[in-house]
Chains A and B, each alone.
Chain A
Amino acid sequence: MKFVACINHVPDTEAKIKIGSGGNAIDRTGVNYILNPYDEFAIEAALQLKEKKGGETFAVTLGGDSHKETLRKALAMGIDKVILLKDDSVRDSFSVAKALADELKKLTPDFIFFGKQSIDYNGEQLPGLVAEMLGIPSVSTVVKMSVEETKVICEREIEGGHEVVETSYPVVISAQKGLNEPRYPSLKGIMASKSKPIEERQPIAVPSAAEVVGMQKPPSKQSGKIVGTDATAVPELVRLLHEEAKVI
C-alpha cells in the first residue's frame, strides 16, 4: 500500500509578519519557516498506517528550494520517499490542487493525508479539491481513524461533537489535532535523511483562478479597561461584556 502526506512549509507561528511592498504578499525577510504543524499529524498518520499495513510512505510538497528543509524533516521522521514539485511562483489553492492531483494520479496512493489547513493562508481547500480532482472520497478534520479490510472509519470534529463516517479507500483525509501524537524525528533518522534523495519534479502549469489583490493586518489591540477590583464591579462587567464586547 502507498501512503502519501501532502505537506507545506509555512512561517513559524511566532514569526512577526510584515506585508511586503507590493501590498499583496508577506515580506519573507527574517521570517523563520517550519513544517506546517497540522501536517505533522498527516505524516504521523501515514507512518502509523504503514507500520500496521506495510507498504511505502511518501511526502509531497509544492514550492521552492526552501521547502527541502521540510521534506528533510519528513524523511527524518521516517517517510520513505519525498517529492518536491519545484515551483516558486504564486499559485492559488486551485492551481496547487491541480498540480498535486496530477502528481498523485501517477503515484496511485491508497491513502492521502493532509493537515486540515496550512497555518499560513488557512485556505482549508486543498484536501477537498484534490479528492474531487482524483474522483475519490474525502473526509475532513479527522480526529480518529481505523482501517478494516476495505472500510475506513473516521471520526471527525463537528460543531459541539463528533461525527463518525465510513468510507472506502483510496481516500483523502485531512488531519485535525488529536488524530495522533506526532513523533519527534529521531537523531538517527536525521542523520540517515542526509543520504536520502529529494526527488525534484516539474509540476504542471495551471493558471490561478483567484488572485490576491491586497493584504491587511488586523487593527492593533485596544488597551484594556479595569472596571473595578472587587465584587461590586461584577454587574458592570457583565453589562459591558454583553453590550459592548458582545461576547456573552
Chain B
Amino acid sequence: MKFKGLDYYDVAGLLSEEEILVRDTVREFVEDNILPIIEKHYSAGTFPMDLIPKMADLGMFGSTLPAKYGCAEMNNVAYGLMMQELERGDSGIRSFASVQSALVMYPIFTFGSEQQKDFWLPKLAKGEKIGCFGLTEPDYGSNPGGMITRAEDKGDHYLLNGAKMWITNGTIADVAVVWAKLNGVVHGFLVEKGTKGFTAPEMKGKHSLRASVTSELIFQDCKIPKENIFPKTDGLKSPLMCLNQARYGIAWGAIGSAMTCYDTALNYAKSRIQFGKPIASFQITQEKLVHMVTEITKAQLLCLQLGRLKDQKKLRFQQVSLAKRNNVNMALEIARVAREILGANGILDEYPVMRHMANLESVKTYEGTHEMHTLIVGEDITGIPAYV
C-alpha cells in the first residue's frame, strides 16, 4: 500500500498547493527510487551514488537558493517537507541533501565571493560536484571553538594543517568547506579534491547511518589558493549559521522517519494476531500508537510554524534548537516503540524500523547533540549559560 503520511489534524490544510505538490512529488520519488534499494545499500554500508543525478534533476540541492544558480527558489516550508519525505526514505539520503544544500551551497551563497558563487553553485545544484562540510575534529565536537586545524598566510597562498572527523560525504566530495583558524579567528576555506596533502579516508564500522559516507579529512601542508577563502565570514558564528540551516531541515526530516515507523507499526498491529486477536486490540498497543500519533502531530505543527517564521525572517536560532531537540528525540522514541510492537520482526530488514532507529542515534548527536540544544534553549530562557 502506498504511503499516505499521517495528518491527524489536517495540517495539509495549512499548506499551499505548491507545498503539497512538492511533498507529494518527493514522496513519490522516495517510493520509486529510494525504498527499493535502500536496505541493500544499508547492509552493504554504501551510499547509492546513482541517486545523485536523479535528486539533482528534481531540484533537491540548494532548493531555497535563487533561480539564477539553477535552484528551485522554494520557500522554507516546501524545503522542510522535502526533507521530511527524504528522511522517510532514509536519514542517510536526507543527510546527503542537507550537507549539499545547507552546509555547502548555503555558506558559498552567504559568505562566498561572486566568483565562488558563480563557479560552484550551478555545479552543486546539478549534482555535477559534491560537497562536504568540515567542522568537527577528533578532539573538538560540541566545542568546535577549540579547533586545532589552522591556516597560515604565506603571501600568495594559505597553508592548511590539521584534521577533521565525522565528515559526511568527505570521501566522495569534490570540494570541502573547511573551517580553520587563521590568526586565531575561525575562517572558511574551499579545499578542492586533489589538493596536494589533502586526503579523505572513509570511516568504517558504523552501526548507524550506514547508507551515508562518513570520513576523516586530513590536511598536511595543503596550499590553498588565496581566492578559496570565504571573504564574508564572521568567526565561529558563520559555521554555526550553517548548522542552523541544516538543523532546521533535520527537525522536519525526523518527522518523516517517525511517520514511516508509525505507519509500519500500525499496519503490523492490525494484522498480527496473538491470543486470537490483532495485537492492535490490546490496550497497551493502542496506547503506544496513540502516543505516536500525538507526538507526530505536535512535531508537524511545531515545524510548520518554525518554517513560517523562517520565511518571515523572524526565526531565532534557539527556536530551531528546540525543534531539532524535540523532533529527533520523539522520532527515536517512536522508532523504539514501533520496534516493540513488531516483536521479533522489528529487528529484521524486511521492515524499515530498526534502520531508522539506528540512523536516528546519529541524527540525535550530529548538528548539535540533544544535550547541547538543551543548553542553548536553557540559556535562552534563563539567561544563564551552562556549557562549562
Contacts and interface: CB of A to CB of B under 8 A. Distances in A.
Contacts of A193: 18, 21
A185 interface: yes
B17 A72 contact: yes
B17 A187 contact: no
B78 A14 contact: no
Given A14-B2, A190-B25, A191-B72, A184 B58 contact: yes
Contacts of A184: 25, 28-29, 58
Interface string B257-294: 00000000000000000000000000000000000000
Interface stretch (B59-67, B87-95, B336-344, B376-384): B59-67
Could you tell me the dominant secondary structure of chain A's interface residues? helix
Contacts of A28: none
B18 A190 contact: yes
Contacts of B22: 187, 190
A191 B74 contact: yes
A187 B72 contact: yes
Contact of A187 (B1, B2, B59): B59
A184 to B, nearest CB: 5
Interface in A60-100: 68-69, 72-73, 76
A188 B17 contact: no
A72 B71 CA distance: 20
Contact of A14 (B1, B21, B82): B1
B134 to A, nearest CB: 28
Interface in B1-34: 1-2, 4, 17-18, 21-22, 25, 28-29
B73 interface: yes
How many A residues are at the interface, by size bracket?
10 to 19
Interface in A29-73: 68-69, 72-73
Given A69-B17, A186-B57, A191 B73 contact: yes
B6 to A, nearest CB: 14
Nearest to A183: B57
A68 B25 CA distance: 17
B25 A188 contact: no
Contact of B74 (A72, A73, A187): A187
How many B residues are at the interface, by size bracket?
20 to 34
A193 B67 CA distance: 14
Nearest to A186: B59
B76 to A, nearest CB: 13
Interface string A193-204: 110000000000
A68 B4 CA distance: 21
A188 B18 CA distance: 11
A187 B67 contact: no
A187 B29 contact: no
Contacts of B25: 76, 184-185, 187, 190
A156 B196 CA distance: 59
Interface string A166-197: 00000000000000000011111011011000
Nearest to A34: B24
Contacts of B57: 186
Contacts of B59: 186-188
Interface string B37-78: 000000000000000000001111001000100011110001
Contacts of B58: 184, 186-187
B271 to A, nearest CB: 15
A145 B74 CA distance: 36
Given A76-B25, A184-B29, 7 more contacts: A69-B17, A184-B28, A187-B58, A187-B63, A191-B78, A193-B18, A193-B21
18 contacts: A14-B2, A72-B17, A72-B18, A72-B21, A76-B21, A184-B28, A184-B29, A184-B58, A186-B59, A187-B63, A187-B82, A188-B67, A190-B18, A190-B21, A190-B25, A190-B78, A191-B18, A193-B21
5 closest cross-chain pairs (CB), A and B: A187-B59, A187-B72, A188-B72, A188-B59, A186-B59
